[in-house]
């Protein structure tokens, strides 16, 4: 008797960089960094279904719907994560006759320094092994798999406030990180990460400052005084729209503002959820805005009835395949 497919729903949170310092460069060209990274309450919704792929169907299928337009298919990072999990299961001696279907409802803006694709991939890595009945993957091995997909994926897999060092893969979790109210505002431009590394860094002077205990400072100091990003000056010079978003947040009483990653998202820090919501609504006439707060851990996985629709009825969009 063929078993029914198993479906679960999982939320993939966005991340923001509250600090980002470039501390050096490796011989292979990768830049070294130190960054205070936090997950926030802006989510992609993902439904994972495991079952027979059907004749002629791909082993891993991925479709994307929602307000943010991102391609699905085998090259989507979540699909690549599923393929990596299936490969790991086979290496462990499992004989699988199973396909994986991934449905993503996309809310996190792409290419904005918010880690949406990395978080989607991390959600698959965190969820799919259990669905396949795999024994627990050794944490070090799962970290290797995550890093092979992208430098931000290990952080998104942990999904807890942390200081990232190295190329972003060395993580120092921060316990008792203070709940913080933010507005994420996305300027209407696309900043290519490779361009930012090649053109927006005037020098690597941050490295001379040495290692700082950002985790301790984040728990004990005014967070708004820590905000910094080595990319921000160069990126803003090339994309003045980002500077205008920054000014818009400051004009709405943000107590601190910083660009996330290499842009184009800008993060404003507010004293209360109400102030953040008001600022997001006001600035929303000029750019995409989201009133969010920091979260301490990955949202729980929820069961989904077979045949359930991933997105709410009011949020239906045609898939971006």
Catalytic residues: 15, 152
Rounded-to-integer distance, Cα 75 and Cα 60, Å: 10
Rounded-to-integer distance, Cα 111 and Cα 4, Å: 37
Count Cβ atoms below 10 Å from residue 173 Cβ, excluding itself.
11
Nearest to 49 by CA among 105, 100, 123: 100
| Beta-bridge partners for 289 | 185
CA 200 to chain centre: 22
Residues 6+ apart with CB under 8 A from 205: none
Peptide bond before residue 264 is cis, with ω within 30 degrees of 0: yes
Nearest to 284 by CA among 254, 249, 259, 256: 249
Cα angle 173, 176, 177 (rounded to 5 degrees) comes to 75
Rounded-to-integer distance, Cα 158 and Cα 173, Å: 9
Q: What would the two tokens of residue 273 be?
A: 């959820």
C-alpha distances in Å from residue 122, one per residue of 47, 146, 149: 13, 7, 9
β-sheet with 265-270: strand ranges across? 256-259, 265-270, 181-186, 288-293
Q: Positive or negative CA dihedral for 160, 165, 171, 176?
A: negative
Contact 228, 22 (CB under 8 A): no
C-alpha distances in Å from residue 238, one per residue of 98, 141, 167, 244: 48, 40, 25, 12
């Amino acid at each position: 008797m063929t078993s029914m497919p198993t479906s679960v729903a999982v939320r993939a949170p966005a991340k923001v960089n509250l600090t980002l310092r470039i501390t050096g460069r490796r011989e292979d060209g990768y830049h070294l960094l130190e960054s205070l990274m936090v997950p926030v309450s802006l989510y992609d919704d993902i439904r994972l279904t495991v079952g027979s792929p059907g004749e002629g169907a791909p082993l891993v299928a991925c479709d994307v719907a929602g307000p943010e337009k991102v391609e699905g298919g085998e090259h989507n990072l979540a699909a690549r994560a599923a393929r990596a999990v299936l490969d790991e299961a086979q290496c462990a001696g499992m004989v699988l006759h199973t396909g994986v279907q991934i449905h993503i409802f996309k809310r996190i803006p792409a290419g904005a320094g918010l880690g949406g694709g990395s978080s989607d991939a991390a959600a698959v890595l965190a969820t799919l092994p259990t669905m396949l009945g795999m024994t627990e993957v050794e944490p070090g091995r799962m970290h290797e798999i995550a890093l092979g997909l992208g430098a931000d994926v290990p952080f998104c897999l942990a999904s807890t406030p942390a200081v990232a060092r190295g190329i972003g893969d060395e993580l120092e979790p921060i316990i008792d990180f203070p709940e913080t109210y933010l507005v994420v505002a996305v300027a209407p431009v696309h900043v290519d990460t490779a361009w930012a590394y090649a053109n927006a860094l005037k020098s690597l002077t941050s490295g001379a400052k040495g290692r700082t205990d950002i985790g301790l400072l984040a728990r004990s100091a005014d967070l708004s005084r820590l905000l910094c990003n080595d990319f921000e000056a160069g990126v803003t010079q090339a994309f003045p729209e980002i500077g205008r978003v920054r000014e818009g947040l400051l004009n709405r009483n943000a107590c601190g503002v910083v660009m996330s990653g290499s842009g184009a998202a800008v993060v404003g820090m507010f004293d209360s959820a109400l102030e953040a919501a008001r600022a997001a609504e006001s600035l929303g006439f000029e750019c995409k805005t989201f009133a969010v707060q920091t979260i301490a851990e990955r949202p729980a996985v929820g069961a989904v009835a077979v045949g359930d629709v991933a997105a709410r009825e009011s949020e239906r969009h045609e898939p971006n395949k």
